[in-house]
């Protein structure tokens, strides 16, 4: 009897100690398992989501399909942890950094110089340096066909500048109810404005409604203060002539890759894209260069796991 009692509790212990990550990646993990694993691994959710993204991808090559059928979360997570630690060690090696510097140091230095140049150019061509645009109100204006919805805009030249021409769009961007941050692309009003003449002091101009599907009806006769409670009022300037020169408000002389880099809040991914497209097509950032150096080791120890991610 004593023998069976010991056997029972041994089996119970083995069952309770089961590694939940030995599950096939074909089966999503439960929320309970994910939450449990996160307590011991702060990067677990990020790693798990990356695995699921690859498994659930609409296009999976035949070779990778065979791997997916036979691989578990535990094997992939183990490889990801090993790879991260191996990369970290290599990145801290002086010899590795000297090697990377000899190959890509000049390209990275040019990136830094170009970044400063383009930042300065963008700043010097910002319309905010030359004039201030203010939304005043929306009203209806009678015409022989009925009426138009008009947005009134105030233009105030700054720093003694003489404005010869300015045109662009007035946009109402709805704010998020959760965080009161504007939602990109949610346009509830759109009007085109254009001024040609000479202005050195404040003037008021009319902006014509241009998108019937996103008309200005909702804003008619509403005080500016009420409109701004729910909407961010924005201006996109398409052309600006100050005194005797064009201002490059559309940044035609700035590479689109740098504009993407800036708009992404200087993300690492867009930085690398900018360098590769405009400076050095062979450029590899340090982490990627390190992974290339570690490739043989990864394949030797984790062949299927490596192929799963590549």
3-class secondary structure, 109: helix
**pLDDT at position 65:** 80
Percent helix, strand and coil across the chain, each to the nearest 5:
50, 25, 25
If you average pLDDT over residues 194-218, what whole number do you get?
A: 86
Tens digit of each residue's pLDDT (9 = 90 or more) over 148-188: 888 999 999 999 999 999 999 999 888 875 544 444 444 44
Structure pTM? Answer: 0.77
- Going by C-alpha positions, the residue among 278, 310, 221 that lies closest to residue 107 is 278
**pLDDT at position 211:** 67
Tokens of 14: 């083995």
DSSP 8-state code for residue 161:
P
Rounded-to-10 torsion of CA 299, 310, 266, 231: -140
Helix ranges restricted to H, 125-249: 224-230
**pLDDT at position 214:** 59
Tokens of 234: 């924005």
Mean pLDDT, the chain, integer? 87
User: What distance in Å separates the CA atoms of residue 108 and residue 114, rounded to the nearest whole number?
Assistant: 10
For domain 127-246, the CATH architecture is: Sandwich (2.60)
CA atoms within 13 A on the CB side of 158: 9
Q: What's the pLDDT band for 70 if we cut at 50, 70, 90?
A: confident
Highest mean pLDDT among 6-10, 19-23, 66-70, 274-278: 274-278
Tens digit of each residue's pLDDT (9 = 90 or more) over 276-294: 999 999 999 999 999 999 9
Q: What's the pLDDT band for 143 if we cut at 50, 70, 90?
A: confident
Which residues contact residue 161 at a Cβ distance below 8 angstroms, ignoring those fewer than 6 apart? 130, 131, 200, 242, 243
Residue 92 φ then ψ, to 5°: -90, -5
**pLDDT at position 301:** 94
Domains of the chain: which residue ranges?
95-124+258-281, 127-246
Report whether 122 contacts 262 (CB < 8 A): yes
Neighbours of 81 (CB within 10 A): 14
Tens digit of each residue's pLDDT (9 = 90 or more) over 3-14: 444 444 444 443
């Amino acid at each position: 009897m004593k023998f069976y009692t010991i056997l029972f509790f041994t089996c119970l212990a083995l069952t309770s100690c089961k590694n939940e990550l030995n599950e096939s990646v074909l089966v999503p993990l439960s929320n309970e398992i994910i939450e449990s694993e996160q307590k011991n691994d702060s990067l677990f959710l990020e790693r798990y989501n990356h695995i699921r993204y690859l498994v659930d991808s609409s296009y999976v090559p035949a070779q990778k399909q065979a791997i997916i059928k036979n691989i578990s979360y535990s094997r992939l997570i183990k490889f990801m942890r090993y790879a991260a630690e191996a990369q970290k060690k290599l990145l801290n090696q002086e010899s590795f950094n000297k090697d990377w510097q000899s190959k890509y140091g000049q390209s990275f230095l040019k990136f830094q110089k170009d970044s400063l140049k383009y930042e300065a150019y963008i700043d010097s061509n910002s319309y905010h340096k030359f004039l201030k645009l203010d939304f005043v109100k929306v009203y209806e204006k009678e015409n022989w066909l009925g009426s138009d919805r008009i947005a009134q805009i105030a233009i105030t030249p700054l720093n003694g500048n003489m404005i010869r021409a300015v045109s662009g769009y007035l946009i109402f961007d709805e704010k998020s109810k959760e965080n009161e941050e504007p939602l990109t692309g949610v346009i509830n009003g759109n009007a085109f404005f254009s001024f040609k003449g000479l202005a050195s002091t404040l003037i008021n101009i009319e902006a014509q409604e241009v998108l019937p599907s996103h008309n200005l009806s909702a804003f008619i006769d509403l005080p500016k203060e009420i409109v701004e409670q729910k909407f961010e009022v924005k201006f996109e300037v398409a052309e600006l002539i100050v005194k005797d020169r064009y201002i490059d408000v559309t940044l035609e002389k700035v590479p689109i890759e740098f504009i993407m880099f800036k708009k992404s809040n200087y993300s690492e991914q867009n930085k690398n894209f900018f360098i590769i497209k405009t400076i050095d097509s062979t450029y590899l950032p340090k982490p990627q260069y390190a992974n290339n150096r570690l490739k043989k080791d990864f394949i030797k120890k984790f062949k299927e796991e490596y192929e799963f991610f590549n």
